[in-house]
Amino acid sequence: MLKLNLHNYFLRHLQVMLYSLGQLWRTPAATTMTVLVIGIALALPAGLYVLLKNVEQVSSQWEEASQISLFLHHDTPDQRGKQLAEQLLTWPDINTVHYQSAKDSLAEFRQLSGLDSLLDTLPDNPLPPVIIIQPEAGQHENEALHSLLDRLQSMQEVELAKLDMEWLQRLRSINEAGERGISILAILLSLSVLLVIGNTIRLAILNRQTEIRVIKLVGGTNAFVRRPFLYTGFWYGLLGGAIAWLTLLLTLLFISGPVNRLAALYDSQFTLNWLGGQMFIALPLFGLVLGVLGAWLAVGRHLNEIEPT
Amino acid sequence: MIRFSEVYKRYPNQHEALSGLSFELDKGEMAFLTGHSGAGKSTLLKLIALIERSSHGQVWVNNQNLTRLTKWKVPYYRRKIGLVFQDHNLLHDRTVFDNVALPLIIAGENHREIGRRVRAALDKVGLLGKERSLPIALSGGEQQRVGIARAVVNRPPVLLADEPTGNLDPDLSQEIMHLFEQFNQVGVTVFIASHDLELINRMSHRQIKLNQGRLA
Ligand SMILES: Nc1ncnc2c1ncn2[C@@H]1O[C@H](COP(=O)(O)OP(=O)(O)OP(=O)(O)O)[C@@H](O)[C@H]1O
Ligand SMILES: [Mg+2]
């Protein structure tokens, strides 16, 4: 008996679900417009999110390329410097070292700055010898890197061990700001999706006032009246989410050519990852939840106003 | 079956449509509700169907005190009341079958039972061949019979009708009234508001006459 009732229950829901879809099918123009509005509103934050995730991925690749500059004391002789460099090369967490004497540093600076005459007036070379260290790949996690940095800093000949990562940290801050911006945008656009669906359902309710009155007259509960509208919201959200996914796919397909060429120019392994699988689940699901919620809010407000007279 | 005890109905505009009305209708009885236009006939039926609530006094239907019935229970109560209106209240974008099936769908009946009962109800009102028609394609009398089929399809113990013959010619009116008598003969309590004194007087049923919201 219970099994039969349950079976009936699902059958009825399925019927209402298909009935609602049929209703939408009967007004293709209006349905298409609503679904497109929802799709675009969902695609925008999703697209920005995908771009952000890609930037994060790139920057994590670059993080491996971070290097440490070891400024030695002024009076360290070249011989000692070279020795130190060779010694460092044996450390397991160091990949490559490059020793640059104070003279080399000055020559490089001369070339880069063009301040020849000024430098000539100086009594001694103001630049220290430097060892440039490339940490072993896999040592780029913050903690390991900082432990390496500490050990280097504590060496006698070292004046200053400096991690060249400031630009990376800047990029991270920008990313973080971008993430927050996208969150706010996503919230605002979700709200507008809610309003669009709510308003569409409201109009549908007003269009079917007579029907609602008759249903209530012959004993229809609020839940019964509500059900087809909830499924209408369900379909709007689901279809809107699917449209958003398609929009995302086409947009990223459109920009992936130039982006991948750009990456190749930088000799990067990077290819645009559009998170297709993740978005294929997330967008329709999110749309569906917004759709049902928007419909629920709209129906809740108007259902009690429509009573038989 | 239906009992009114000192019932007052005052509309929000302060108009008093019913004033201290008391009467009783037995189970299985058939009665006509008459009176001038504005006497309060529709108001009285709306109180029984819980479309309106009394301002004062008690209404009992089937041993249930309607004054105490909460809003959530109203739909379930209405499933036990068959309602017929002058303007049919049919859904014009659905077939005759779907219109009549509506109360059963709402009650969650299964598919086979719905088909069986809808056809039985349509058979009783003589419209078995019109299942697939839209209400628009039917005459006024036929539409009214669809409305009656919908009202009786879930076999309610009480059948209310507000001017069911208001738009029909005398022959059709006679036919519709005869239909109500048939339902009454199988035990349904029938209560019909009507202007058609000539027709009513030819039938030997109890008459409840209203005048300015009181028993005349
Ligand atoms: N919703 C309402 N708001 C205010 N007054 C109303 C309302 N409904 C009915 N009335 C008033 O209550 C009185 C009784 O109305 P009711 O509709 O019950 O009369 P009736 O006997 O059915 O008349 P008729 O034969 O014309 O249908 C009338 O004076 C009417 O104007
Ligand atoms: Mg009336």
**One domain, residues A193 and A294:** yes
What is the Cα–Cα distance from B118 to A219, expressed in whole angstroms? 17
**Which of A146, A164, A182 is the endpoint of a domain?**
A164
**One domain, residues A192 and A233:** yes
- Identify whether A19 is part of a domain: yes
**One domain, residues A34 and A110:** no
Chain B residues with beta carbon closer than 8 angstroms to that of A213: 89
**One domain, residues A217 and A243:** yes
Supply the Cα-derived Rg of chain B in whole angstroms: 17
The DSSP bridge pattern shows strands A130-135 and B30-35 to be unpaired
Measuring CA to CA, how many Å separate B138 from each of B90, B96, B97? 12, 9, 13
- Identify whether A137 is part of a domain: yes
**Closest partner CB to A219 (pick from B79, B89, B91):** B79
- Identify whether A308 is part of a domain: no
Q: What is the pLDDT of residue A117?
A: 77
Q: Which residues in chain B are classed under CATH 3.40.50.300?
A: 1-80+156-216
8 Å CB contact between B160 and B45:
yes
**One domain, residues A30 and A74:** no
**DSSP-assigned letters across all residues of chain B:** -EEEEEEEEE-TTS-EEEEEEEEEE-TT-EEEEEESTTSSHHHHHHHHTTSS--SEEEEEETTEEGGG--GGGHHHHHTTEEEE-TT----TTS-HHHHHHHHHHHHT--HHHHHHHHHHHHHHTT-GGGTTS-GGGS-HHHHHHHHHHHHHTT--SEEEEESTTTTS-HHHHHHHHHHHHHHHHTT-EEEEE-S-HHHHHHS--EEEEEETTEE-
**Domain range enclosing A158:** 67-164
8 Å CB contact between A130 and A105:
yes
CB contact under 8 A, A221 and B110: no
- ipTM score assigned to the predicted complex: 0.92
CB contact under 8 A, B103 and A210: no
- Identify whether A157 is part of a domain: yes
**Could you give the number of structural domains in chain A?**
2
CA distance A297 to chain B (A): 19
Sign of CA dihedral B209, B211, B214, B216: negative
| Residue in B209, B213, B150, B173 with CA at minimum distance from that of residue B32 | B209
**Closest partner CB to A215 (pick from B51, B106, B110):** B106
**One domain, residues A182 and A298:** yes
- Identify whether A79 is part of a domain: yes
**One domain, residues A227 and A285:** yes
pTM: 0.76
Q: What is the pLDDT of residue A4?
A: 61
Residues of chain B with pLDDT under 50: none
Question: What residues pack around ion ligand 2 (CB closer than 5 A)?
Answer: B 42
CA B13 to ligand 1: nearest atom:
4
8 Å CB contact between B180 and B159:
yes
Q: What is the pLDDT of residue A267?
A: 64
Q: What is the largest CA-CA distance in chain B?
A: 49
Nearest CA in chain A to B152: A218
How would you write the pLDDT of chain A (309 residues) with one tens digit per residue?
556 667 777 878 888 889 889 988 988 998 999 999 999 999 998 888 888 888 877 776 666 567 888 899 988 888 898 988 898 888 888 888 889 888 888 888 888 777 777 777 777 787 889 998 888 766 556 677 788 888 888 888 888 888 877 677 777 788 888 889 888 988 998 899 999 999 999 998 998 899 999 999 999 999 999 999 999 999 999 999 999 999 999 998 888 888 888 877 776 667 777 777 888 889 999 999 999 999 999 998 888 888 888
What is the Cα–Cα distance from A114 to A160, expressed in whole angstroms? 26
**One domain, residues A143 and A177:** no
Q: Ligand 2 centre and the CA of B29: distance in Å?
A: 22
Q: What is the pLDDT of residue B109?
A: 87
CB contact under 8 A, B75 and A219: yes
**Closest partner CB to B78 (pick from A4, A213, A217):** A217
* C-alpha A280: how far from chain center: 15
**Closest partner CB to A308 (pick from B51, B90, B106):** B51
Axis-axis angle for helices A28-63, A222-265 (nearest 10):
40
Mutate to test the interface with A, among B70, B105, B162 (most CBs of A within 10 A): B105
- Identify whether A75 is part of a domain: yes
Chain A residues with CB within 8 Å of chain B CB: 4, 8-9, 11-12, 210-211, 213-222, 224, 307-309
8 Å CB contact between B119 and B153:
no
**One domain, residues A265 and A285:** yes
The structure tokens listed for B110 are 């299964």
Measuring CA to CA, how many Å separate A67 from each of A57, A149, A301, B138, B200? 19, 11, 62, 88, 105
Q: What is the pLDDT of residue B39?
A: 93
Q: Ligand 2 centre and the CA of B164: distance in Å?
A: 11
Site to probe by mutation for ligand 1, drawn from B8, B11, B44, B210 as the one with most ligand atoms within 8 Å of Cβ, is B11
CB contact under 8 A, A218 and B102: yes
Which residues touch A126 (CB under 8 Å, ≥6 apart)? Answer: none
CA distance A2 to chain B (A): 13
Q: What is the pLDDT of residue A62?
A: 66
**One domain, residues A94 and A34:** no
Q: What is the pLDDT of residue A64?
A: 59
Beta bridge partners of A97: A133
| Residue in B106, B193, B38 with CA at minimum distance from that of residue A222 | B106
**One domain, residues A179 and A295:** yes
Give, using CA atoms, the residue closest to atom 11 of ligand 1.
Answer: B17
Give, using CA atoms, the residue closest to atom 26 of ligand 1.
Answer: B37
Nearest CA in chain A to B103: A218
Best CATH choice for the domain B1-80+156-216 from the list 2.30.30.60, 3.40.50.300, 3.30.470.30, 3.90.180.10: 3.40.50.300
